[in-house]
Structure 1
Amino acid sequence: MSVPMALLALLDDGPAHGFDLKRRYDALLGHGRELKYGQVYATLQRLERDGLTAGVGVEAGSGADRKLYAVTPDGVSELDTWLVSAQPISGRPAELFTRVVLALASGRSATAVLDAHRRLFLDRMRELTAARHDGDAIDRLAGDYEIAHLEADLQWIELAAARLADLSEAVR
């Protein structure tokens, strides 16, 4: 899962400091695997270094002052590309879920995310099916394994697409 992309999506609603970003991330994506504050601030510093976020002020807090971050135009462009990129996701089951939730949280089209991945998975299934004729028994079994996982992913995509209205309401 891409923590930097998640923080960019959460900043797309407006400037925020690390404390609020962590709380929102944990509420939307944590599911028992919450971010550590150190990871949030280290990621924000890298995003700022790379020109994807910018410091836009400081708010006084109950302890130390809190730096406000905002997403830059380059950060918005990077986020848009990542959400619908037609490249294989890492294979981690939560990554497509993360992209859909972040698209909804940032006011983007979750349908576009689902459609891009549906096309990607169907294309890969066609490649694997065609390759069955050339491979040996082990290659065919490995292809069958990947096809079974792609079929499950496609079922999840259809389920998510049917629930987008409810999901959108829950995320906002």
Structure 2
Amino acid sequence: MTTGHVVLGLLARGQQHGYDLKRVHDEHFPAAKPLAFGQVYATLQRLQDKGFVEPVAVQRVDGPDRTVYAMTDAGREELHRWLEAPEDPAPYVANPLAIKVTLTILAAGEDEAAAYLQRQREAHLDRMRHFTKLKTDPASSLHDVLAADYAISHLDADLRWMETALQRVSALTEEITA
């Protein structure tokens, strides 16, 4: 997923300026990393350079001028193409936990690696409690609930991996220190 496609998707609802795009992004994707204003405007410029968006007006609202953008037909085609395409699974699995376990074994030994996994387990459980509280809060939006469900599923998978890693930390130590 690219920021450009996200911006195109947000522009599908109609003309907007960068400030509105950032606000709507942060509102609709509360668990995502917030967009920086500079990122929004740089993305709009790239989309304009590709012919996917065009400036249609300039507004002044209590401050600097704000350029209003609209999606072009080429932008709609690009968004449609991207939305229809399934996301490829990542070709590499980036597991910072596994890297840290291996480096802890190399630097400090098996017992420290096991202790690290226990500390990480507690941190994951704390984060799961946070998301569980968020998703059960009556004031949470459906966006919040869906984001919490996604996060909980990923945290649960990490916890299952940690249990397996704890069972295998001795064998891994033998393998990498032999």
The TM-score normalised by the length of structure 1 is 0.51
Quote how far apart the aligned CAs of 1:30 are. Answer: 3.9
2:19 corresponds to 1:19: yes
The equivalent of 1:61 in structure 2 is 61
Q: Which amino acid in structure 2 is aligned with residue 79 of structure 1?
A: L
Structure 1 segments (4+ residues) deviating >6 Å: none
> What code does the residue aligned with 1:27 have?
E
Structure 2 counterpart of 1:8: 8
SS at match of 1:82: helix
1:61 is displaced (CA, Å) by: 1.6
User: Which residue number corresponds to residue 44 of structure 2?
Assistant: 44
Q: Secondary structure at the match of 1:55?
A: strand
Query: 2: distance between equivalents of 1:82 and 1:21?
Result: 19
Q: CA RMSD for the aligned pairs? A: 2.5
Structure 2: which amino acid aligns with 1:70? A
- 2:33 is paired with a residue whose SS is coil
How far is 1:90 from its partner? Answer: 4.6
Aligned equivalents of 1:60, 1:54: Cα separation in 2: 18
Question: Which residue type is aligned with residue 85 of structure 1?
Answer: A
Q: How far off its partner does 1:86 sit?
A: 3.9
| Structure index of larger Rg | 2
CA distance in 1, matches of 2:76, 2:14: 12
Secondary structure in structure 2 of the residue aligned to 1:33 = coil
For 1:29 and 1:84, how far apart are their aligned partners in 2?
20
> Could you tell me the percent identity over the aligned residues?
40
User: Which whole-Å CA distance do the structure 2 matches of 1:29 and 1:63 have between them?
Assistant: 27
Per-residue deviation at 1:87?
Answer: 5.3
Residue-by-residue CA offset, 1:87-120 (whole Å, 9 max, x unaligned): 51557xxxxxxxxxxxxxxxxxxxxxxxxxxxxx
Q: What is the letter of the counterpart of residue 58 of structure 1?
A: V
Distance 1:50 1:6 in 2: 15
**Counterpart for residue 28 of structure 1:** 28
Distance 1:42 1:82, change over 3 A: same
2:94 matches 1:84: no
Unaligned 5+ segments in structure 2 are 92-140, 146-178
TM-score with structure 2 length normalisation? Answer: 0.49
Change (3 A) 1:20 1:89: farther
Structure-2 separation of matches of 1:51 and 1:167: 34
Q: Displacement of 1:32 after TM fit? A: 5.3
**Given the superposition, is the C-alpha separation of residues 37 and 78 from structure 1 closer, same or farther in structure 2, using an over 3 Å criterion?**
same
- Per-residue CA shift, 1:44-75, capped at 9, x if unaligned? 00000110000001011211010000000000
